[in-house]
Structure 1
Amino acid sequence: MLFKLQTPAESPLDFEVSVEQGSWMGALVCLGSLLANVFFGYLLDIVGRKACIYCLAIPHICFWCLVYFAQSIEYLYAARFCGGMTGGGNYVVIPIFIGEVVDPAIRGRLTSLFTLTLNSGMLVGYTMSSNLPYHLIPLLVISLPVLFLLIETFFPETPTYLLQRAQVEKAEKAFKFYQGHTAESKQDIDKCNAKFSELRDAMSQKSQADVVTWRDFFSKRAIRALSMGSMLILINVFTGSFAILNYTSSIFGAVKTDIHPNTNTTIIGLVQIIGTITAIILVDRYGRKMLLMLSTASMGICLAAFGMYAFFAEETSVDLTPYRSWLPLLLMALIVLAANVGVIPVTFVVLVEILPPKIRSKGASFCLCLLSLFTFILIKVFPPFMQAFGLSASMWACASFAALGLFYIAIFLPETKGKSMSKEES
């Protein structure tokens, strides 16, 4: 859609969007996300996970209203900021909610499914923006957050939060709801009760009056977990997938490909979904560490190869005409595929699993603040860096971060597959 808004002949608006304004539209998403990371991280332990999920719909509804009624660039700035708040809140609330309600055996798949829904939404957005009138899209899509609010009323609060509030009876009912407990045999009932007792005993080790303090963040386990989380976020951002997805058209333009922006963005959207589905299938079978290592290694190779192609396209007179119609798209698709197999979805699975329960919500909020901050830096720095040093140097820089990530994950990151989150503190 940004490409269309920056093309006067195709823009449906009464005002022009410059390149600088377009970059701020991208960056303001990160600032909205940063605010939401802090806000929802604070709110999670006060009003609960379910109430926070309700709140996510509010800025999303505002986003589509502002898009529809846009009379100036400021409307779009505000809309993108609201959209960033919804996205940032999602990344804080949803992984924690999923982590607290599902069985460890399928936790990785369901947390990765969260990323699949995001990527599916992006593909729908690419398709709608390419084929539907600008003002029709908000009218259609605004029904989704309203429907979301209605459906969410049928889901109870997480058992973990209810136990934190000493609401044992409600917690037991919620636990059985999320476990899908309908069996009537004594063996199945005893098994479900034993699982709930294990969770309750783990939670009862903490006093309900026990308040999270700064000291809790400086325990040996907390420092180790926050360091790992921060490093995973650094790898997640600076391997370049966010920049590639935001500046797809500019990157293709730099290597002088003839592919239309609408075509390549739709293809990249499909590749994202394929990668995330692959992660969902593999994450609980082969583990988090293996997927992250495979992802960073593949990204590093493909980024380096794309950088080499860009070098020949920008700095030499080599005739690349036979390759321009397919090789840049293939390399970019492989980069996005590799990122969505591991680095993008699995990072958030591991993040929830390594944080101690007592600081999980605030620790996740801290790491996601870093995600928003690093993404803001990347999105603002990538265009001038590419202009000053070339696309090849930009790709090689991202490849270097992928190599660093591979080394760190292989040496320092533990495997968390199948571990009970109620036992993490021990």
Structure 2
Amino acid sequence: MFDNLKEHLKIKWRQYLAASLASYGSLCTGMSMGWTSPVLPQLQRLESSPLPQVPTLQQESWVASLLVLGGLLGPLITVPLSRLVGRRWIIMGSNIPLLLGWLLAGVTTNLETLYVARVMWGCATGMMFATVPIYIGEIAEDKIRGALSAFFLLFINVGFLLAYAIGPFTSYWGLTATGGILSLLYVPCTWYIPETPFYLVYKGKMEEASATLQSLRGTSKEAVQAELEGLQTVVTREYKEPPKIKDLWATRGNVKALGICVFLAMLLQLSGIDVLLFYMEELLSKVGTNLSPSDGTIIMGVVQVVTSCITPLVVDRLGRKLLMWTTSLGLTIFLTLIGVYALMDSYYKYDVTHIAFLPLLCLIVYMILFTLGVGPVPWILVAEMFPVKTKCLAGGICSFMCWLAGFVWTRFFRDVAASYGIYTAFWILAVCCGIGFIFSATLLPETKGKTFDEIQEMLNNNNKTKEVKPVDV
């Protein structure tokens, strides 16, 4: 077993390295997203806050949710530029708002500057979410595409863990400076990633595309010739005309792919992940667990990272459909249990000390399930389901809708909890996950191990035994 793994890594290590370097930026954005969990309590104490006065509940909600609102800017930047400058330069460009956000957060003395910093972080995050999964999908071989795509979420979770582990034990400025330093390291990482072979073929740079394929596959020019010719065929077929927005509904397969991916991208946010990650310390104290909030967040971060290491090993073995319906069903059950616990504790005032471990246990299981399925699978499908001509445009739309759903929920979660009880807020999340379970179990097709053309044939044709020619758009 270990000999096979060693041989596998010896051949594929360049693809793993490129995916890791591209995904490192998500570690930095993960820190910026998890930053609010330890920082919001610090802003309530003037001696540890850069602000002249304690922010209100509404102002804190804006601090948290503006990152998600900034994420809407990412697709608006990446979609027009993707065909002009390529995936590599967009990923490199995400460094600008990322570093600017850390700089503004470090020097802020008022809420307005902090708001702008959060928007800048969100812009960088949105650019990465719209581009990095597509980048990885275009450099990876079909057999390891799912595993490499899971790296993106792994690095995000490492970033959350760093924010959770460092934040409670340092000052506001210490955590912010750490995030800024780690983000500076992303600059050389992005410089050394190659452009994708597909984009190079699209631009007519055949020799460079061949050299990149040889490097990524660790093989000879002759060995990559068939793959290179396949890319040429796809480009010739798909780019007879420049991509247009109407291409997204030019075929039944495109419409199905867009509907599936938009729904799952919104489900990712409507499952409550950003709410839990942004307000982790606050939620752990509200639901009545007897563990300190800072210790609880660190445990949650460790669980996320460990599970993220498992995800690449299972996503190409179990398949996308199985992971989605099982994990969304699990989220429904455990979010419902948290709501029941909170109802008994905060509304009916029952003595629940003998089961005080339940909220943390449910949240741990929630994180495991989310990290295995609901979190990574939508972005893997975005990279797999769309024809190359519409991939960037569709990815931008999915990312935009994901962030829009996330902004609405992170902005108003506290208001719902304050007006109707924290248990009601958790039950709303459970209902969203229940809808996701029904959708995944009945309507989601399996794309595991299939080529892009095979996936398109499956989406465009209900009769799987019938041979279908590729559709010209």
1:148 positional shift: 2.2
1:99 correspondence with 2:137 = yes
1:65 aligns to what?
103
Deviation at 1:293, TM superposition (A): 1.4
User: Do structure 1's residue 81 and structure 2's residue 119 form an aligned pair?
Assistant: yes
Q: Say if 2:342 and 2:422, in contact at 8 Å, map to a contact too.
A: yes
Partner of 1:120: 158
Following TM superposition, by how much is the alpha carbon of 1:363 offset from its aligned partner in structure 2, in angstroms?
Answer: 0.5
1:284 aligned partner, one-letter code:
D
- Offset, 1:164: 1.3
Residue in 1 that maps onto 2:444: 413
Equivalent in the alignment of 1:334: 365
1:357 and 2:388 correspond: yes
The secondary structure found in structure 1 opposite 2:200 is helix
Whether 2:420 is the aligned partner of 1:389: answer yes
**Structure 2 counterpart of 1:29, one-letter code:** L
Aligned residue-pair number: 418
Cα displacement string for residues 22-63 of structure 1 (whole angstroms, at most 9, x for unaligned residues): 110111101111011211122111111111011011111111
Q: CA deviation at 1:422?
A: 5.7
CA distance, structure 2, for counterparts of residue 423 and residue 300 of structure 1? 32
SS in 2 for 1:128: helix
What residue is the counterpart of 1:310 in the other structure? Answer: 342
Counterpart of 1:270? 302
Q: Distance in 1 between matches of 2:47 and 2:330?
A: 37
Amino acid at match of 1:267: I
SS of 1:293's partner is helix
* CA distance in structure 2 between the partners assigned to 1:43 and 1:411 by the alignment: 36
Greater shift in the superposed pair: 368-377 or 189-198? 189-198
Using the alignment, how far apart are the partners of 1:415 and 1:340 within structure 2? 19
CA shift, 1:14, in A, is 4.3
- SS of 2:71's equivalent in the other structure is helix
Distance 1:146 1:391, change over 3 A: closer
Q: How does 1:145-184 map to 2 (within 5 A)?
A: 145-181=183-219
Q: Is the 8 A contact 2:261 2:398 kept in 1?
A: yes
3-state DSSP of counterpart to 1:419: coil
Distance 2:419 2:279 in 1: 16
Equivalent position of 1:399 in the other structure: 430
Residue of 277, 282, 290 corresponding to 2:322: 290
C-alpha displacement at 1:134, in angstroms?
Answer: 2.7
Change (3 A) 1:137 1:250: closer
Deviation at 1:190, TM superposition (A): 4.1
Number of the residue aligned with 2:254: 222
Asked if structure 1 preserves the Cα contact closer than 8 Å seen for 2:285 and 2:293, the reply is no
Distance 1:384 1:279, change over 3 A: same
Q: Any gaps of 5 or more consecutive residues in structure 1?
A: 184-188
1:248 is matched with which residue? 280
Amino acid at match of 1:5: Q
How far residue 388 of structure 1 moved from its aligned partner, in angstroms, is 2.1
Distance 1:23 1:217 in 2: 35
Q: Tell me the TM-score normalized by structure 2.
A: 0.84
Q: Shift of residue 317 of structure 1?
A: 3.4
The residue number in structure 2 matching 1:186 is: none
1:90 to partner: Cα distance = 0.9
- Distance in structure 1 (CA, Å) of the matches to 2:189 and 2:43: 38
Percent identity over the alignment is 27
User: RMSD over aligned Cα, in angstroms?
Assistant: 1.8
Q: 1:14 to 1:199 in 2, by over 3 A?
A: closer
**Could you tell me which residue of structure 1 aligns to residue 182 of structure 2?**
144
Asked if 1:7 is matched to 2:44, the reply is yes
In the alignment, the residues of structure 1 paired with residue 287 and residue 180 of structure 2 have an alpha-carbon distance, to the nearest angstrom, of 37
For 2:291, which of 256, 259, 264 is the aligned residue?
259
Would you say the 8 A contact 1:199–1:422 is kept in 2?
no
Instruction: Give the Cα separation in 1 of the matches to 2:443 and 2:450.
Output: 18
Worse-superposed segment, 300-309 or 111-120: 300-309
Letter in structure 2 aligned against 1:91: F
Provide the rounded CA distance (Å) in 2 between the counterparts of 1:75 and 1:250: 24
Question: Where in structure 1 do 4 or more consecutive aligned residues deviate above 4 Å?
Answer: 422-425
**How much does 1:89 deviate?**
0.9
User: What letter is aligned with 1:349?
Assistant: I
**In structure 1, which of residues 153, 176, 193 is the aligned counterpart of residue 225 of structure 2?**
193
SS at structure 2 position matched to 1:396:
helix
What one-letter code is carried by the residue in structure 1 that aligns with 2:281? S
Give the Cα separation in 1 of the matches to 2:204 and 2:222.
22
C-alpha change, 1:62 and 1:224, in structure 2 (3 Å) is same
1:370 equivalent in structure 2: 401
Structure 2: stretches of 5+ with no match in the other structure: 1-37, 457-469
**Contact 2:288 2:342 survives alignment (8 Å):** no
Give the secondary structure class of the aligned counterpart of 1:135: helix
Q: CA shift at 1:261, angstroms?
A: 2.2
Paired residues of 1:242 and 1:375 also in contact (CA < 8 A): yes
Q: What amino acid maps onto 1:345 in structure 2?
A: P
Match status 1:31 vs 2:69: yes
Give the counterpart letter for 1:320 in structure 2: V
**Does the aligned pair in 2 maintain the 1:305–1:331 contact within 8 Å?**
yes
